[in-house]
Amino acid sequence: METRRGIAVSPGVAIGPARIVESQGAQIARKFVMPDEAPREIARFDKALTASQQEIHELAEGLRTRLDQQVSVSDIFQVHLGILEDPKLRHQITNLITHRLFTAEFAVQEILRRYITSLQEAGDSYLLQRVRDFEDIGQRLLRNLQGETHQQLARAPGPVVIVAHDLTPSQTAGFDKEKVLGIATEAGGRTSHTAILARALGIPAVVGAAGLINSVVDGDMLIVDGSQGAVVITPDEATRQRYQARGRTFEVIEERTAAEFCNLPAVTLDGRAVIIEANIEFPNEVATVLNNGASGVGLYRTEFLYHTAENPPDEEAHFQAYMEAIRALKDHPMTIRILDLGADKFPSGFPERNPFLGCRSMRLLRLQPTVFRNQIRAILRASAMGKLRFMFPMIANLAELREARKVVTEVMEEFDAAGAVYDKKIQVGIMIEVPSAAMTADLLAEESDFFSIGTNDLVQYTLAVDRDNERVAHLYSPVDPAVLRLIQRTVQAGQKAGIRVSMCGEMAGDIMHTILLVGMGFESLSMAPSVIPDVKKLIRSIRYEGAKKIADHALSLKTAKEVEQYLSDETRKVVPELVQERQPEG
Amino acid sequence: MRFQKSVPLIHKTGLHLRPARRIMDAAGKFKCDIKLMYRGKTANAKSITDIILLAALPGAELLIVTEGTDAQEAMTTLEDVIVNSINRDEDI
């Protein structure tokens, strides 16, 4: 059993055998034709163009009838059609055939490549995801030129889970929900068309799961958890049963509360307000998370700038991404996490015997001062335009914090000297995700403007458990007494120093832990957008005084299992409809 | 007749697929030349590919230039599409 993590883009759980889909798009060799053959090439191209337009008509119509009101989805193909019907496209391609004597195939590839290059040069993350649309159009034309019949992937023999490096919108739209149980890809983002189509088709999907293809063999049993962003490869029987139970109830749960609660504030019955923020990977998610009821972005994971760029993002790339977010934030605050590279995310390239204890996050940035400074500069520049905070990941002791803050001070001095505008009072915080940081939270609080607890790392470091290792995963629990004591210590240190303590780990978005966290005194929680309505509903159904008692009792229990059972019982009492049949994790 | 006018684009994702399609559909109804200019690039507003490749981001100032017999009417329509339709659109 092995688990790969990615971005959850289409909720639900799918369990089935893997079917690996090769990426389309082999390179076309540069070949020429004789001048008298050019008209024939143009005629071939025109025939392929007409056939492609016809296919898209059918695809869009098919989607429209399958999805009833999901007209917006077939709009994606209306745009493909618009491009294929654009006289400019035909003109440019036939020009290359006539004047350069390219074969129709090479001319098509060449023009589409030029379009894609200009999109990439724009450097906007939303536009970059549109590259796939142009590739899709190109591949459709090439396939028709080469006379292949229109084959849809859905013609798979039985229900399968599709695994691919990336999929084109056409491939995704061709999927039949009866035969394609779930989708897992290595590339893509939340707003890629694959993601949008999978959601519209109701197929659970995870994208951005790095290293997936090399871990999966055709026919392997897979679980795609499109709500949490996990792909489990060859799960054991217990894991499989747990997911099966979740798969049955999840749809009812997630749909129901969404509309009702997303716009209400998260205030307990006795008036304690909790700030609910969202975790994002891409700036273009901001609008969606605000619609989901988040009052800001509590964690912007900037590593994903590496996803879309070929080279390390420069200052301008950072700045553009932050500005894109700020424009959509409309004055809501955003907390940017400094690049958290290394370990499981974009490995450093150094040989690491133990990557999680190695050169990752701030330790890696120390060796790459330019990368670090570029990001600080971009954040400071953008801070003049919107409400930004930023935080350092993986701080283990005060010396590291001081070293990082020194760089920030230097950059600020450069700005002052140059008369550049920035928010001089910008808050600089740290992630608390190493046990040593939690233990010395009182010291760190004196030199930090806020804390944000990252539970995934805090749990694994505290308990010495890799939760993706099946033989020890049962030992992983965010409510283990050791973890809870570290969290409590951090909250108390923050309260004493008068700084905000937030949590942005997975634990913050699990309704089983909401009462506990509110009771422990968290002022803000940041989570995946999809869980916000449930968490709000729960907070609005409890009393802060009661939650404090529950937290106290939970902290007095002796084992993780006892705490889990207790919290599950207490949560069920308040919102039985959200807990039904759901098994406690771990 | 030649008209030009600068219009702010505030659609949350910029001039991408659907807004581009809407501009193209509107522009296609006129005989005159209609161009959009942004950051030194020029797009024929009747070509969706051109519009997408302008890569106009939210906050962009788009310069609309219309030239020909029905240029005045085209200007009014294009401005209306961008200001009243695209800028107010909540969808991507």
Count chain A–chain B contacts defined by CB atoms under 8 A: 65
Q: Confidence band (pLDDT; 50, 70, 90) for A256?
A: very low
Full-model pTM: 0.57
pLDDT attached to residue A380: 96
Same domain, A315 and A364: yes
- Domain boundary residue, one of A206, A222, A246: A246
Q: What is the DSSP string of A509-554?
A: G-HHHHHHHHHHT-SEEEE-GGGHHHHHHHHTTS-HHHHHHHHHHH
Q: Do the Cβ atoms of B17 and A79 come within 8 Å?
A: yes
CB-based contact, A136 to chain B, within 8 Å? no
pLDDT attached to residue A311: 65
Q: Which of A49, A71, A75, A83 to mutate to test the interface with B (most CBs of B within 10 A)?
A: A83
Q: Do the Cβ atoms of B17 and A133 come within 8 Å?
A: yes
> Which residues of B fall within a CB distance of 8 Å from A75?
17-18, 21
Q: Residue B27 sits in a domain of what CATH number?
A: 3.30.1340.10
pLDDT attached to residue A97: 93
How far is the C-alpha of B54 from the C-alpha of B67, rounded, in Å? Answer: 20
Same domain, A176 and A300: no
Least confident interval from A152-161, A489-498, B4-13, B76-85: A152-161
Q: Å from A125 to nearest chain B CA?
A: 10
Q: Which residues contact A26 (CB under 8 A, 6 or more apart)?
A: none
Least confident interval from A51-65, A67-81, A331-345, A547-561: A67-81
Query: What are the pLDDT digits (tens) for A387-423?
Result: 999 999 999 999 999 999 999 999 999 999 999 999 9
Q: Confidence band (pLDDT; 50, 70, 90) for A251?
A: very low
Query: What are the pLDDT digits (tens) for B1-28?
Result: 888 888 888 766 666 677 888 899 899 9
Q: What is the mean pLDDT of residues A502-528?
A: 93
Q: Confidence band (pLDDT; 50, 70, 90) for A310?
A: low
For residue A82, the chain B residue with the least C-alpha distance is B48
ipTM field: 0.78
Beta strands at B33-38 and B41-44: parallel, antiparallel or unpaired: antiparallel
Mean model confidence pLDDT for chain A: 85
Active-site residues of A, by number, are 193, 504
Question: Which residue in B16, B67, B68, B85 is the catalytic one?
Answer: B16
Domain around B14? 2-86
Secondary structure element (H or E) that encloses residue A417, with its range: helix A398-418
Q: Do the Cβ atoms of A79 and B59 come within 8 Å?
A: no
Q: What is the mean pLDDT of residues A25-40?
A: 79
pLDDT attached to residue A152: 46
User: Structural domain tally of chain A?
Assistant: 2
Highest mean pLDDT among A193-197, A304-308, A313-317, A333-337: A333-337
For residue A287, the chain B residue with the least C-alpha distance is B12
- Domain boundary residue, one of A198, A217, A246: A246
Query: What are the pLDDT digits (tens) for A326-337?
Result: 999 989 999 999
8 Å CB contact between A171 and A198: no
CB-based contact, B17 to chain A, within 8 Å? yes
List Cβ<8 Å contacts ≥24 apart for B44-49.
Answer: B44/A88, B45/B78, B46/A87, B47/A86, B47/A87, B47/A88, B48/A79, B48/A82, B48/A83, B48/A86, B48/B20, B48/B21, B48/B24, B49/A83, B49/A86, B49/A88, B49/A89, B49/A115
Same domain, A85 and A133: yes
> Which residues of A fall within a CB distance of 8 Å from B92?
126, 191, 284
Q: Residue A267 sits in a domain of what CATH number?
A: 3.20.20.60
Q: Confidence band (pLDDT; 50, 70, 90) for A24?
A: low
Q: Do the Cβ atoms of A127 and B58 come within 8 Å?
A: no
Q: What is the DSSP string of B31-84?
A: SSEEEEEETTEEEETT-HHHHHHH-PPTT-EEEEEEESTTHHHHHHHHHHIIII
Domain around A452? 262-579
Give me the residues paired with residue A275 across strands: A524
Q: DSSP H helical segments within A34-185, as ranges?
A: 38-67, 71-85, 87-100, 104-122, 125-145, 169-173
pLDDT attached to residue A27: 64
Q: Do the Cβ atoms of A79 and B18 come within 8 Å?
A: yes
